[in-house]
Structure 1
């Protein structure tokens, strides 16, 4: 029996740094099965790659010294363009037939390291040291059919996938420690299942599963022996293959399947899903079909003209392949060979009909579009705004579209069906169509750089006026931060149809320094009654009873918090930061008095609609927790903890009424151990280093005064059984408090590092970021993350500032008429501007100058050490 030390295999991230789909969409994706080059020269071993952004999860199926099937795994992080490195892990665990499979019995032992270097999308080098053996092999893709194209994708896009190429595991990670790789080409899936033998040692099976029905594939399980991984040369003639059983795969959608097998007299069926390495994923798709099929809908649009819009101008013109939609809005278009470009739909007055409801003839001609057939063959009002952004990264394009439409970052754009009648999405779609009708009258060219601005300028008031919140406390003043008082809240959202929403609430003051300003911030709790039960969402944000009203009184641009939260939720950072709050600008009236523009925002809490980690019970110890670095330690004494190095912590979740002594001790011990790793010379195996890198970069960009381990710096840990391996570790975030960031304080310089150097005037200021950069692998990670994010970051920031400024342009005047603070100084200001537009211009200038300086600092380890240490 081969031995291994007890460690969770599922914590594939225990010595590594997780991350996912990057902002740049053009980078090669290496997901799939690879083998020795030239193809077939060493048939019998291979390496499966699951590729999500800047991380590859590799399973290498090979043979041990005795010739038995043996597999190793590796999480490899991107260290340079086309280069990924990591630690090779040998695992042991319960045998394939054991029920239940106990992930706590899985062991993992580092046995070496490896580097994957790719020359192009189909060829590379696999260099490794394993159990003292050092070798390097050229590798190429394993092609037995038409190789699919793989790209980064959202969860919604993965669900609709019909190509299943990926790494899969027991649904929800409930049996972390084994997995099954699918290489899907045409109607065949090549399967490699990595599991364990009766003695607990690693074992793998392969299968060639053919399609027998829609979503159903079946084949024989093969057990293989061969030359040891160290054999030179590797002789494929010595590989033996023996049929060991059968398997059937039944897919219900792109992320759900049943894995049924009979093996060694054991028959089992397991529910499986794709294995997330972090918060996004990869979708593979077969080559383009000759016929483009899709639908045109606001409601279903009959007799719309659809075309392959080769010149991208949004018109269907002579020479462009065209078709008419049927009564269901469906079309089939005989596309030019290899066509991947924009699609356009002309909805013609007097010809086209909108199925509604109600079904009506179209009164005015308008045009809709999709940026490409790869993005969507369905053409809708939302896909049209995405098209008009002219952004090649479709996730970034969707985020820009949401900002323009005044919708929150995680609002779901559904391109598969018309929005439900009466929904916010339906109302917004109707407003888009109204603008498109006006734009058509002026012949807007959809390929022009000002096309989006031309359409946005025609948005009706429903998309340009801020929602209004009317709070009534029956005249009772809100003068305390601890005690709630009763009241009523009326929400009027011009973007939505229907009557205003009326809710019973409890409200109190909130904030530390901001509470003492003239414009007060508030905490709002919705009463859980019938009225609340009838609410679908809050201004497009997920339903929850707990909200904050951020006054942003010290931020005369009124958008620093909104911008930071939106950036934290964007594809630029959401692959490394699990969740960040969203907020929507609103105008507030309190007891009949106008009190200005606020940010109606999500608060930070453990909840399925917020930070979705386990709600810990009294009998559980390992998660989930939220803690806050808070130098004033403004929390109940039982929740206060000061680390050995002096970091002052408040435990946020569980709170003082729920936390048990054992839980309090557990999280203190974990934080103490993390600090020991950071200040020591060992690895950073207890933290999700990607979250620490991304949080650092976002905070450093804004040069946030609180982020130097002073206050509002939260961290969290989920249970050790969490589905996403990185969640089992200590993560930093969610982000909070940006109102005095980005030059809006005495930290106004655009140069110089702050997060790891702030408060340098205080000897031995307790800041983990001062020491974490002593670990070269963390510095390399931060540099790689900055360089990968940089192009999309600049585009997102500048587009978002434009969008938020447009939406605030009218309301800000009313705010500053009420609060006449423009041109005045306060305790936080360094620069003073006399107009709101100057404030917005300064914010843009600061962030762009800051990005340029960070380019210098994150050019190389030497540059960072010179400028920031």
Structure 2
């Protein structure tokens, strides 16, 4: 199934695996090569060796698969800063294909240290058109990604059943924390240090004098990063950000804990049917235990109010961005649907589904508008 001759305006990525092998594993890379035809707006990439594997949790179960690709050497990719690893997000259950991108747009507007850069592309796999993909930088350590210096840690609140066998994690009283980077040995000095430090922070946060600016939680965290992480995840009502997964934070020894980076927003902006995060009204991430406790401090609440006013001032910008991206994907999303035929069909976990891309986009815009209206009132009552 080739794409039709209708040019979509997106760059085209040709992925080929050795012996046309299927990409069947999330653990084992298979060898192959890649070529990018950038067209007018993007740099091309000459044929280059790569390795590729599956990725994702719930998203891996869909027929259109997400991938992680590792290039032979660090390369700029579709104009994004050079690196080896690139993620191919399928955006199968988000029929707008825009939820991850719009959450990241909020990240670009925020004070968070780094938010992944992304571009859309058409992908051919072993000569067969495989749809429109959202190509993203990976959440990992690096000078132009998560800057951990020489000794920092990238951490993720996660679930035991989601861990890989070689993952190293520790527990606080409230969460399981997976050490994403660096690769550690259980109970070595670095492990002892970071598990103790995060537990000390949590103990301070839940202590009687938690609001004391020198001995309370403020001694441990970059407060602005917690405010922005909370507000962005609350605005889009990211289902996983309450306590489940993809809750990233990072710390360099001797410095404060930073929340972020943002990750995994396909089940946000109302695209979920198994949780109250479906609705534009109501709190969600406020019930994260760390956030809930921080909001017991009037000084933190005041920062949240001030910062929400800033994000509220960006509402029109965000709605315009949605329209711009929807127009940009006008042809690509149609080609993608010719291949995958999801419009008008239930795809887990859609609460509603529509016959056209524009109707999906309108639902996203209406949901976002209603969300900002509700929060504008609710935040005043904190």
Per the TM superposition, whether the score is higher than 0.5 is: yes
Offset, 1:636? 4.0
Partner Cα distance (2:345, 2:126) in 1 = 28
SS at match of 2:119: strand
Query: Relative contact order (alpha carbons < 8 A, sep ≥ 6): 1 or 2 greater?
Result: 2
Offset, 1:679? 1.3
| Change over 3 Å in CA distance of 1:526–1:660 after alignment to 2 | farther
Structure with higher helix content: 2
After superposition, where does 1:456-535 map in structure 2 within 5 Å? Answer: 465-474=9-18, 475-496=20-41, 500-528=45-73, 535=75
- Report whether the alignment pairs 1:606 with 2:141: yes
Greater Rg by CA:
1
Partner Cα distance (2:50, 2:329) in 1 = 27
Given candidates 312, 322, 326, the residue that maps to 1:801 is: 322
2:302 is aligned to 780
1:383 is aligned to none
2:163 is aligned to 634
Given candidates 360, 365, 368, the residue that maps to 1:847 is: 368
Offset, 1:566? 2.5
Provide Cα deviations, 1:255-284, integer angstroms capped at 9, x if missing partner.
xxxxxxxxxxxxxxxxxxxxxxxxxxxxxx
SS at match of 1:674: helix
1:8 is aligned to none
- Report whether the alignment pairs 1:667 with 2:206: no
* Aligned positions, number: 365
| Change over 3 Å in CA distance of 1:796–1:595 after alignment to 2 | same
Given candidates 181, 198, 218, the residue that maps to 1:653 is: 181
Contact 2:91 2:266 in 1 (8 A): yes
| Change over 3 Å in CA distance of 1:638–1:600 after alignment to 2 | closer
Partner Cα distance (1:704, 1:580) in 2 = 16
Partner Cα distance (2:42, 2:351) in 1 = 44
2:270 is aligned to 743
Contact 2:221 2:256 in 1 (8 A): yes
Contact 1:484 1:506 in 2 (8 A): yes
SS at match of 1:641: strand
Partner Cα distance (1:852, 1:824) in 2 = 30
1:538 is aligned to 77
Given candidates 86, 111, 132, the residue that maps to 1:547 is: 86
Partner Cα distance (2:102, 2:348) in 1 = 23
SS at match of 1:810: helix
Contact 1:489 1:504 in 2 (8 A): yes
After superposition, where does 1:819-858 map in structure 2 within 5 Å? Answer: 819-858=340-379
Partner Cα distance (2:295, 2:42) in 1 = 52
SS at match of 2:190: helix
Contact 2:42 2:79 in 1 (8 A): no
TM-score by length of 2: 0.91
Partner Cα distance (2:295, 2:146) in 1 = 27
Contact 1:636 1:656 in 2 (8 A): no
Contact 1:539 1:584 in 2 (8 A): yes
Contact 1:566 1:582 in 2 (8 A): no
Q: Which runs of 5+ in 2 are unaligned?
A: 1-5, 211-215
Provide Cα deviations, 1:87-140, integer angstroms capped at 9, x if missing partner.
xxxxxxxxxxxxxxxxxxxxxxxxxxxxxxxxxxxxxxxxxxxxxxxxxxxxxx
| Change over 3 Å in CA distance of 1:717–1:500 after alignment to 2 | closer
Provide Cα deviations, 1:797-833, integer angstroms capped at 9, x if missing partner.
1121011111100010010111111111133111121
Given candidates 707, 732, 755, the residue that maps to 2:259 is: 732
Partner Cα distance (2:378, 2:184) in 1 = 42
Partner Cα distance (1:718, 1:649) in 2 = 16
Offset, 1:500? 4.5
Partner Cα distance (2:237, 2:69) in 1 = 29
| Change over 3 Å in CA distance of 1:483–1:835 after alignment to 2 | same
Offset, 1:497? 7.7
- Report whether the alignment pairs 1:706 with 2:255: no
Offset, 1:664? 0.5
Structure with higher strand content: 1
| Change over 3 Å in CA distance of 1:673–1:581 after alignment to 2 | same
2:213 is aligned to none
Contact 1:567 1:796 in 2 (8 A): no
SS at match of 1:587: strand
Q: Which runs of 5+ in 1 are unaligned?
A: 1-460, 617-623, 721-727, 759-766, 865-869
Given candidates 745, 750, 754, the residue that maps to 2:284 is: 754
Partner Cα distance (2:258, 2:42) in 1 = 40
Partner Cα distance (1:524, 1:786) in 2 = 37
Partner Cα distance (1:663, 1:497) in 2 = 42
Contact 1:642 1:648 in 2 (8 A): yes
Provide Cα deviations, 1:424-453, integer angstroms capped at 9, x if missing partner.
xxxxxxxxxxxxxxxxxxxxxxxxxxxxxx
SS at match of 2:135: strand
Offset, 1:499? 5.9
1:679 is aligned to 206
SS at match of 2:81: coil
Given candidates 569, 580, 593, the residue that maps to 2:128 is: 593
Partner Cα distance (1:503, 1:593) in 2 = 19
Partner Cα distance (1:554, 1:527) in 2 = 31
Provide Cα deviations, 1:820-865, integer angstroms capped at 9, x if missing partner.
1111113311112111110011111111111111110122xxx12x
Offset, 1:714? 0.4
Provide Cα deviations, 1:765-797, integer angstroms capped at 9, x if missing partner.
xx3222221122111111111113321x21321
SS at match of 1:545: strand
Provide Cα deviations, 1:628-681, integer angstroms capped at 9, x if missing partner.
00023514466121112x311111011246x87110011101110111122123
Provide Cα deviations, 1:527-584, integer angstroms capped at 9, x if missing partner.
12xxx6xx5x211110111110001101010111111112212xx31xx200010110
TM-score by length of 1: 0.41
Provide Cα deviations, 1:46-90, integer angstroms capped at 9, x if missing partner.
xxxxxxxxxxxxxxxxxxxxxxxxxxxxxxxxxxxxxxxxxxxxx
Partner Cα distance (2:17, 2:167) in 1 = 34
Contact 1:607 1:615 in 2 (8 A): no
Offset, 1:495? 2.6
| Change over 3 Å in CA distance of 1:560–1:717 after alignment to 2 | same
